Amino acid sequence: MNTEDEATALKDQVRELQSALNLGDEDIRITFLLPPQLGDILGVLLAKPVVTTETLQRKLGIVAEAKVSMYRLRKKMDQFNIKIYSQSHVGYWIEPADKVRIRQMVADRTAPEPDLFSEPA
């Protein structure tokens, strides 16, 4: 395998990992009116059972402001009655029922609008 093939394979792996962690998910950002960084944090919270500050720093590159970003995300999600929990030395998490609600809200926003003017089949 040459260097170009290796680079392509690595890029594909990065895209797969980003997708698995919901990174860069425009649907999440638009549904909840979040800036990119907060959208990525919410995506990781949806993908993992518990997210530590270290994970945010390592995976998202949020170094000095991880706690501030989490505070901002919590305030935004309060508008939707979704709570982000935390415990010292454990991390941050969203309850499974709220994860289902979040995914449903995103799906509802991205669902195609019914065509009310078309003729029935």
CATH code at position 67: 1.10.10.10
Distant-in-sequence, close-in-space partners of 98: CB < 8 Å, separation ≥ 6:
82, 83
* pLDDT per residue rounded down to tens, the chain (121 residues): 678 767 666 555 555 554 444 555 788 888 899 998 899 899 989 988 999 888 888 777 775 678 888 999 999 999 999 999 999 999 999 999 999 999 899 888 765 655 556 565 5
**What is the radius of gyration, based on Cα positions, of the chain?**
18
* Assigned domain for 115 exists: no
Which residue type does 15 have? Answer: R
Number of separate domains in the chain: 1
Q: For 92, left (φ over 0), alpha (ψ -120 to 50), or beta?
A: beta
Query: What beta strand segments (E) does 1-121 contain?
Result: 84-87, 91-94
* Assigned domain for 1 exists: no
CA distance 29 to 43: 9
pTM of the model: 0.71
